[in-house]
Amino acid sequence: MATVHPRFLIDEHQRPTDVVLTIEQWQQIQEDLDQLEDIRAYDAAKAGPSDAVPLSQAARELRGNKSA
């Protein structure tokens, strides 16, 4: 997890309107979000049906040739 030190911009009513981060902090957040997306995709795949198919069949299906 990234350690960030955000700065907040406020409007004339003292309400926060924006957050300012360094480029390095922003890039780290983006990397963390990418990893989180990968983890969620992995978790979803593991939770789904686990019917295995032979590699040759999977390759045919990916090419669009579903005949055996």
Q: What is the reported pLDDT for 19?
A: 97
User: Residue 68 falls within a domain, yes or no?
Assistant: no
What pTM does this model have? 0.59
DSSP 41-58: HHHHHHHS------HHHH
**52 is in which domain, residue-wise?**
7-63
User: Residue 53 falls within a domain, yes or no?
Assistant: yes
Beta-bridged to residue 18, according to DSSP, are 9
User: Residue 2 falls within a domain, yes or no?
Assistant: no
> Which tens digit of pLDDT belongs to each residue from 23-49?
999 999 999 999 999 999 999 988 877
Q: CA-CA distance, 19 to 5, in Å (whole number)?
A: 10
